[in-house]
Amino acid sequence: MSARGIRRVAMLSAHTSPLDQPGTGDAGGMNVYVLELSRQLAAHGVEVEVFTRATSRHLPPVVDAGDGIRVHHVAAGPFEGLTKDELPSQLCAFVRDVLRVEARHDPGYFDLVHSHYWLSGQVGTVLRERWGVPLVHSMHTMAKVKNAALASNDRPEPVGRVAGEEEIVRFADRLIANTAEERRELIDLYDADPSAVAVVHPGVDLGVFTGSVPDDEPPLIVFAGRIQPLKAPDVVLRASALIDVPHRVAIIGGPSGSGLDRPTELTDLARDLGIADRVEFVRPVTQAELAQWYSRAAVVCVPSHNESFGLVAIEAQACGTPVVAAAVGGLTTAVADGVTGTLVDGHDPADYAAAIRPYLADAAFRREAGAKAVHHAESFGWDVTAERTLDVYAAALRDRAVARKESR
């Protein structure tokens, strides 16, 4: 049991497992978030049971993912071939199996529910009522925000998601926002109660993302993330074509979302731009391997159209590598503009080329920014994230206790 009296949390990550490899499919920063937060909560004495949809018949029903962490693979719909857009139709089956797990134990087995992304939030609203426990929800991304900053060749989020998110905001006892900007968006766009929205920054594993190695020559630009229009990897390639300093580019990740519709788009683009000889496409890698790529890079580029936070930016900075990123969402918090990297308004490749070039051309300049980046990233450890999340849990439990007392 934690110092705050919290024994056990049901962590919901319905559409993607924290055990999946980030960087492809639906696996990304949220996977890292759920797993790392769970590890830190367990270190604080809180048992965490994560519920995620089984995507293979060969997955064991329960996996011990570390001391105090269990991952339940819930059977809900076809194991393979089900897209994220098709998952809402399977949420009833998901709820049923989560309820079955809880029913094997005495009442009050879980102290609260923490759901991640709107699909899990829909499940969380049911569990909240059934178990009589608080619901804490993390949006990670929001439909209204994504649709307002949609890439030209991307698909808008469906109206059903918007309605689902609005319902979660009404029912959740607490909402966790990654940044102050996300908190404002929840209040302004979703009419969230300001007193119910807490800002808790995601973290970075400072034991994995650390140190640096000598700069590669020619200098290296790294993009890491899912290959889809939202993440704008094409901007990195187009910017590279405009930079006159000798350099190389590594695009690390796999296709996801609408990017699955055009699996050869980036390789075709590199060829058409005449830069195929300087570009390396790398399949998703482990966290330790990713840290090595960051450390070798002269600069990491994050030109996303929207990011609720941008873990890639913090991870890269923890490795001593400056970041050039879009001035959107949580990236404006993750990157200290003009200190640890450069923020760029819009998505014009010429602007990114201008921002990236100094880091390639001037080794002393990038080393100075990299040293400041390490210091900046040190304040984003997962232990701090867990402490602040536990404070949110405790506040939700106190409110629920007061409400019960007043209803008697």
**Angstrom distance (rounded) from CA 140 to CA 118:** 9
161 is in an annotated binding site: yes
157 is in an annotated binding site: no
11 is in an annotated binding site: no
HSE value, Cβ hemisphere, 13 Å, CA-based, for 72: 20
Radius of gyration of the chain, Cα coordinates, nearest whole angstrom: 21
28 is in an annotated binding site: yes
10 is in an annotated binding site: no
285 is in an annotated binding site: yes
Please list, in sequence order, all residues whose beta carbon lies within 8 angstroms of the beta carbon of residue 170, skipping any fewer than 6 positions away: none
Pairing relationship of beta strands 135-138 and 220-224 according to DSSP bridges: unpaired
366 is in an annotated binding site: no
Reading the block at residue 120, the tokens are 């899990």
210 is in an annotated binding site: no
211 is in an annotated binding site: no
**Residue 75: how many CB atoms within 10 A of its CB?**
16
179 is in an annotated binding site: no
307 is in an annotated binding site: yes
Please list, in sequence order, all residues whose beta carbon lies within 8 angstroms of the beta carbon of residue 21, skipping any fewer than 6 positions away: 27, 284, 286
For residue 223, the surrounding DSSP H or E stretch is strand 220-224
31 is in an annotated binding site: yes
For residue 324, the surrounding DSSP H or E stretch is strand 323-326
226 is in an annotated binding site: yes
**Angstrom distance (rounded) from CA 96 to CA 151:** 37
26 is in an annotated binding site: yes
Please list, in sequence order, all residues whose beta carbon lies within 8 angstroms of the beta carbon of residue 144, skipping any fewer than 6 positions away: 162, 165, 185, 189, 190
Among the listed residues 36, 9, 98, 105, the one whose alpha carbon sits nearest the alpha carbon of residue 62: 98
141 is in an annotated binding site: yes
4 is in an annotated binding site: no
Binding residues for 1D-myo-inositol 3-phosphate: 15, 26-31, 84, 117, 141, 161
Provide the annotated binding site for Mg(2+).
294, 297, 321
Residues belonging to the binding site for UDP-N-acetyl-alpha-D-glucosamine are: 21-22, 29, 226, 231, 285, 307, 315
Which residues make up each annotated binding site? Answer: 15, 21-22, 26-31, 84, 117, 141, 161, 226, 231, 285, 294, 297, 307, 315, 321
